[in-house]
Amino acid sequence: MPHMKSVLRLQDIKEIDWPLLVLMLCIVGIGLAALYSASFGRLPELPLRQCIWVLTGIFLFMLSHKIGYRRYINAAYFLYALGILLLLIVLVTGSRKFGAQRWLYVGPLSFQPSELMKLCYLLALARVFSHFEPRELTALDIGFVVCLTLLPMALILVEPDLGTSLIFLPLFLGIFYVWGVNLRFLSGCALLGLAAAPVMWFNLKEYQRSRLLAFFDPNADPLGAGYTMIQSKIAIGSGGLFGKGWLSGTQNILNFLPERHSDFIFSVIGEEFGFLGSLVTMTLFFLLTSRILVTTLAKRDREARMVGAGVFLLFLVQSFINLGMSMGIMPVVGLPLPLMSYGGSHLLVNMVCLGLVSSFRKTV
């Protein structure tokens, strides 16, 4: 029996998607170096905390690979209900920071239920669609799926967290597409979303509207809503080809760049490692998302494909928006850079997602 257990463990190790794991660790490593610089002399405890979360995340990656995506999908409805419950709890008893109520505390630890909800949502969609063929879908079924999407979006928007709330839309459309719905239906959903934009605009907080307007003209409010975007572009532009060197970025060290340990960590990379460092970082994200896509397409099981599509879109959209925010080509909506930005909630959820993709390679 001990011999059999060791064989099973060896088999699990062999079936790990090693290219996926190596890419993940490379991105995490660059993120830790940038985080150390971003917090140097100011918040020295942040890199240590992040290292603890990284080690925990690697364990969860391995555990998710071991458990397999099918067991997660079987528990999808329970996980979705748990996620909604936590979102309701955070609105009642959650901790408020920077004008937003997004965090729950369990002793000394805090986490964001909205990050967990992204994983719970894509698992729930995969479970729902596993019961239907596209041609069997009724208007009632569509209404159920729309409610499944709008409920977490609304709860997260109330916190408020515009960026995370909007992430559910590409997940919804992408998983629908992989399931087999025709493009005409998806186009109609996109048009309905655009038609609802004015309603959403008037329900945004004042600072959220200011951030969106600052995207078109940051210099209209250079010391207010446009400040972070201006400083981020200065940091990246001043890095030149090779950068100013690790721990030598002036925008970073002299505290001109806000949120450089979280949403704008890529600005630190651009300033200190230059164009080449930025290119390496973006290439790693491209290779990671490509690997997720290749692994997903190699799987014939529909549920696995929908989960893989959700994870692919989660990484693609979040990294694209965050990098665009840092370079001034996307509005500032407060989305972290996957695997790099400081914070345990999104890091652990991202690693669990990658562990699920790795489990696609398991033989049973």
pLDDT in tens, 264-276: 999 999 999 999 9
Query: Rounded to whole angstroms, how far apart are CA atoms 142 and 314?
Result: 22
Is 7 contained in some domain?
no
Is 261 contained in some domain?
yes
Q: Helix, strand, or coil here: 101?
A: strand
Query: Rounded to whole angstroms, how far apart are CA atoms 43 and 6?
Result: 43
Query: Rounded to whole angstroms, how far apart are CA atoms 323 and 306?
Result: 25
Query: Rounded to whole angstroms, how far apart are CA atoms 128 and 147?
Result: 13
Is the dihedral angle over the CA atoms 75, 81, 84, 90 positive or is it negative?
A: negative
Is 9 contained in some domain?
no
Is 8 contained in some domain?
no
Task: Report residues of the chain scoring pLDDT below 70.
Answer: 1-12, 98-99, 133-138, 182-183, 185-186, 188-190, 193, 195-209, 211, 213-217, 220, 363-364
Is 335 contained in some domain?
yes
Instruction: Name the one residue in this structure whose structure tokens are 């064989």.
Output: 7
What are the tokens at 146? Answer: 């729309």
As beta bridge partners, residue 1 has: none
What are the tokens at 55? Answer: 């080690």
Q: What range defines the domain where residue 293 resides?
A: 18-361
What own/partner pairs with CB < 8 Å and gap ≥ 24 does 166-172 have? 166/333, 167/118, 167/314, 167/317, 167/318, 167/335, 168/118, 168/121, 169/193, 170/313, 170/317, 171/118, 171/121, 171/122, 171/125, 171/310, 171/313, 171/314, 172/125, 172/145
Q: Report pTM.
A: 0.90
Number of alpha helices (DSSP H) and beta strands (DSSP E) in the chain: 16, 3
Going by C-alpha positions, the residue among 278, 279, 310, 277 that lies closest to residue 292 is 310
DSSP state of 338: T
Is the dihedral angle over the CA atoms 59, 61, 62, 67 positive or is it negative?
A: positive
Tens digit of pLDDT for each residue in 289-317?
Answer: 999 999 999 888 888 888 999 999 999 99
Is 153 contained in some domain?
yes
Which residues contact residue 184 at a Cβ distance below 8 angstroms, ignoring those fewer than 6 apart? Answer: none
Alpha helices in 180-216 (DSSP H): 183-195, 197-202, 206-216
Tens digit of pLDDT for each residue in 11-55?
Answer: 667 789 999 999 999 999 999 999 999 998 788 899 999 999 999
Is 212 contained in some domain?
yes
Instruction: Tell me, rounded to whole angstroms, the distance of Cα 296 from its chain centroid.
Output: 18
109-111 vs 95-97, strand pairing mode: unpaired
Query: Rounded to whole angstroms, how far apart are CA atoms 66 and 274?
Result: 39
Number of domains within the chain:
1
Going by C-alpha positions, the residue among 302, 326, 358 that lies closest to residue 127 is 302
Is 2 contained in some domain?
no
